[in-house]
Chains A and B, each alone.
Chain A
């Protein structure tokens, strides 16, 4: 008994043979007006009237010569931009404002801390008191007057310190004591947690155990906090420095959206290349082993295998001006540029140009290997490939 699949396979095979022979035969014999490039272009865009389109289709269906044109034309079609499912886009859309808001708050909290830091230094005896004064002040300034995040005045700080001291050592209201302790512990954690926000939108620092603040008495908490702050200070300052640098490039005196955007971008690996482009003509890209480097100079790429001691011109396809790059491995480097330029090398020296769906200026790239990369265009859109440019996803 013959299976159903066998009949389908027979049809499949017969079609391949008969249609192939039919096209070969018609290639030389079909006369009449062939399709020119203009009508083919209009037909593929669906711009012809129905009667015109019908004529084109009838001719194309039987004319091997014009089918050849269609085949070549189809090969020139740029790869389509695959759109991601709605839920995935929504998730990403939410991450951006959350990360932006987190970084804005980080600046807000960090800026007064930095300005008040000298006050906490003066003497060893005043250290504990100074620390106690500084944190509640900044917290109070943040929570009480969010529209005025600038330096709080000394008198205001002293007044608040008195009020907090009274409540801190008051044994009559345990709930107030607990709240005070929690408020005092928050800022350092918030700074360190939020400072890491650009690198990963989800806060990295875990919240303190709920019972921790309650179980300690006020003095124990104060001394433990002082010790912890002494440990955390370098880390916190580092984070603040990083943020400040990014803020300075974006000119933010207040936690504006542009400053927050600059901070959010600061967490990405490609930011160094992109920001250095603003100040210098050449852009240097270092590979993970640091001795292998690339230098972008306009349309040219130089390669060094000895930490920049000697440079060699890399072999490039035709490109536009190159703007940024990233090297996920010593022999792999992705470089992007204007007019949809994306080039990649797997041996460090010979670059291949990859197809890109739009001739737009690209400003940054992040890559994990020689197949997977994400590029960002000048208008802020991101395109991702997982097959070395064969397909791009927005």
Chain B
């Protein structure tokens, strides 16, 4: 058994973890499980952990899932049948959720093949399960890996897409509007103030805002991604908006030295600015996006009512 100097994993601890992970269900050797635990710890700690830290870390792992993944990687039929029964349907459901038209099924199939270990290196079967280190549940890890592959495929397609024609951009007629220089100035001041206020936020608040405004996730989806309840997300968003507004008003008054009337003009300039199109309008042709927009509208009404 290969013992790493950085991971003081003794046999008693290993035996206990082996039993806790019910690794004997798959007849997984102690040594194989030990290697998987050490690899997991090696990736998690930059510096050598002491025994207490290591034990705490290893105890917090999803040991049953890790044992299952190890057993699958080692070619245990019983373990593989368990994966087929318990995790394969979930993987397909996740693929269908990513692309309801079935476009992500092939990704799920290829991931499934890699999990089984169809790829070989140096004549040895290499299962993708080797990359599971037990820090999350196996089901969540599978969904995350599938999501990553989908994003990677989208990016590779985008790189291959031709750039839009300049003529196409010219072909869209620009609206003829009378530009008020004062309004332009107010809009610029306002946008700068908002950008500064957003930059001052805590990363988690900023992430929540971005998920909602830029990524168009629903409150429920944000909640699931951040491990928060939907109502908590709504409350945090309301609080963050309030902070941004206060920060912007203070910045306009103190840094820009604007009067109350001018501050009111700044806010009005944002509302009056035709700016970019509404996101929901843009999503009109996309059924998923449309549904997302409708859900968000409902959620907004709910959160608005709660906020009031």
Q: Is A74 close to B, CB under 8 A?
A: yes
Contact indicator B245/A11 (Cβ below 8 Å)? yes
Chain A contacts for B222, CB-based, 8 A:
74
Contact indicator B151/A72 (Cβ below 8 Å)? yes
Q: Nearest A residue to B56 by beta-carbon distance?
A: A49
Interface residues of A (CB under 8 A from B): 2, 6-20, 22-23, 36-42, 44-48, 54, 57-58, 60-62, 64-65, 67-78, 80, 317-318, 320, 339-341, 353, 355-356, 359
State which of B132, B194, B215 has its C-beta within 8 Å of the C-beta of A15: B194
Q: Which of B188-223 contact A (CB under 8 A)?
A: 190-191, 194-195, 198, 203-204, 206-207, 209-211, 213-215, 217, 220-222
Q: Which of B210-268 contact A (CB under 8 A)?
A: 210-211, 213-215, 217, 220-222, 224-227, 241, 244-245, 248, 264, 267-268
Chain A contacts for B191, CB-based, 8 A:
14, 17-18
Contact indicator B210/A19 (Cβ below 8 Å)? yes
SS class, residues of chain B in contact with chain A: helix
Contact indicator A37/B270 (Cβ below 8 Å)? no
Q: Is B116 close to A, CB under 8 A?
A: no
SS class, residues of chain A in contact with chain B: helix
A-B contact pairs, 14 of them (CB 8 A): A10-B270, A14-B190, A17-B276, A18-B194, A23-B210, A37-B147, A38-B132, A48-B135, A57-B203, A61-B203, A70-B211, A70-B215, A73-B144, A339-B89
Q: Beyond A38-B141, A60-B207, is A76–B217 a contact (Cβ under 8 Å)?
A: no
Q: Beyond A10-B271, A72-B151, A76-B94, is A41–B144 a contact (Cβ under 8 Å)?
A: yes
Q: Nearest B residue to A12 by beta-carbon distance?
A: B241
Chain B contacts for A72, CB-based, 8 A:
98, 147, 150-151
Q: Is B146 close to A, CB under 8 A?
A: yes
State which of A9, A19, A46, A340 has its C-beta within 8 Å of the C-beta of B214: A19
Compute how far the CA of A48 lies from the CA of B98 in the bound complex, rounded to whole angstroms: 25
Contact indicator B203/A359 (Cβ below 8 Å)? no
State which of B85, B98, B155 has its C-beta within 8 Å of the C-beta of A75: B98
Q: Nearest A residue to B85 by beta-carbon distance?
A: A339
Chain A contacts for B132, CB-based, 8 A:
38
Q: Is B114 close to A, CB under 8 A?
A: no
State which of A45, A54, A64, A78 has its C-beta within 8 Å of the C-beta of B137: A45
Residues 77-111 of B, flagged 1 when their CB comes within 8 A of A and 0 if not, give 00000000111011011101110000000000000
Contact indicator A13/B270 (Cβ below 8 Å)? yes
Q: Is B76 close to A, CB under 8 A?
A: no
Q: Which of B104-159 contact A (CB under 8 A)?
A: 131-133, 135-137, 140-141, 143-148, 150-151, 154-155
Residues 31-51 of B, flagged 1 when their CB comes within 8 A of A and 0 if not, give 000000000000000000000
Q: Beyond A19-B214, A45-B137, is A54–B271 a contact (Cβ under 8 Å)?
A: no
Q: Beyond A11-B244, A73-B147, is A19–B213 a contact (Cβ under 8 Å)?
A: yes
Contact indicator B145/A37 (Cβ below 8 Å)? yes
Q: Is B13 close to A, CB under 8 A?
A: no
Compute how far the CA of A356 lies from the CA of B90 in the bound complex, rounded to whole angstroms: 9
Chain A contacts for B217, CB-based, 8 A:
71, 74
Compute how far the CA of A132 lies from the CA of B19 in the bound complex, rounded to whole angstroms: 68
Chain A contacts for B206, CB-based, 8 A:
61-62
Chain B nearest CB from A335 CB (Å) reads 15
Q: Is B275 close to A, CB under 8 A?
A: yes
Compute how far the CA of A60 lies from the CA of B203 in the bound complex, rounded to whole angstroms: 8
Compute how far the CA of A53 lies from the CA of B144 in the bound complex, rounded to whole angstroms: 16
State which of B204, B220, B270 has its C-beta within 8 Å of the C-beta of A14: B270
State which of A9, A11, A12, A54 has its C-beta within 8 Å of the C-beta of B203: A54
Contact indicator A318/B92 (Cβ below 8 Å)? yes
Q: Is B182 close to A, CB under 8 A?
A: no
Compute how far the CA of A52 lies from the CA of B28 in the bound complex, rounded to whole angstroms: 31
